[in-house]
Amino acid sequence: MGHQEKQSIVSIIGSVLVIGFYSLYVYRNYIQADLELLNDFQFWGKSFLYLIPVAIVVQIVIHIIFAIANRIITQEDLPDFTDERDKLIELKSIRISHWIFILGFMLAMGSLAMGMKPYIMFLTLISSGFLASLASEVAKIIYYRKGA
Amino acid sequence: MENEKVLISNSIRRLRFFAGEMTQQELADRTGVTRQTIVAIENGKYFPSLELAFRIAHTFIVPLSDLFIYYPENDPVLIKLKAKQTKKEKQ
């Protein structure tokens, strides 16, 4: 297994951990105490805004730990550049993740159009963002195994 | 033509051998790509850009045609050659 595939697996684990723990934290500390918060737009705005830096910091920390562990285990440094194949795979996986997010966005707007509660729209948006990032990493693993 | 399966084989492994058993990492370093990309090209899983193909050819000091061999699946010349080979093997 190449280092790129390992990095994608690490990213998947990181994403699952971030979204899992963040959702649990928000549910236990806010939603459980006051279910009405689900209909509060300010609550959703803050939840989205806090999630972004948390996710970035956790991913950076996880990747640093991975780089150190990889160096110790394999005695090899991770390449500090991306070549043409990496860029091609990156583009292909981004295309897939964009399509998934667009589909999620359409579903989210559809839920509003059908008169569902706004929190369904926000949950669909978060879920599609999460699924899009997972799909991007899974696509990368598949493309790296396939060749490109 | 579009549906025709295109086959491109390469002789990187052979050229590495004749270059004093050059390692994949060494070739990767010389051509500015990762070792995984060289592995993928060598195994015929990835077709490099023209620029990278030229860089590899330049490393081995061979023309591009020595590095990559192109033939469409239904190439009549190849079909004839394969038929001849099979005939010879049977004899």
Per DSSP, B11 falls in state: -
More confident residue, A94 or B83: A94
Q: Does A144 touch chain B (CB under 8 A)?
A: yes
Q: What is the pLDDT of residues B5-42, one digit of tens each?
A: 667 889 999 999 999 999 999 999 999 999 999 999 99
Kindly indicate the confidence band of residue B1, based on its pLDDT and cuts at 50, 70 and 90. very low
Asked if residue A60 has pLDDT above 90, the reply is yes
Q: Does A83 touch chain B (CB under 8 A)?
A: yes
Cross-chain CB nearest to B52 (options A79, A84, A148): A84
Q: Which of B39, B47, B37 is nearest to B7 (CA)?
A: B47
Asked if residue B90 has pLDDT above 80, the reply is no
Q: What is the pLDDT of residue B68?
A: 92
Backbone angles phi, psi at B72, to 5 degrees: -70, 155
**CA–CA distance, B40 with A144 (Å, rounded to integer):** 9
* Predicted TM-score of the model (pTM): 0.82
Contact A70, A98 (CB under 8 A): no
B70: tokens are 């192109």
Q: What is the pLDDT of residues A89-126, one digit of tens each?
A: 999 999 999 999 999 999 999 999 999 999 999 999 99
Max CA-CA distance within chain A?
Answer: 57
Interface of B with A (CB under 8 A): 32-34, 36-37, 40, 43-49, 52
Residue B30: helix, strand or coil by DSSP? helix
**CA–CA distance, A38 with B80 (Å, rounded to integer):** 72
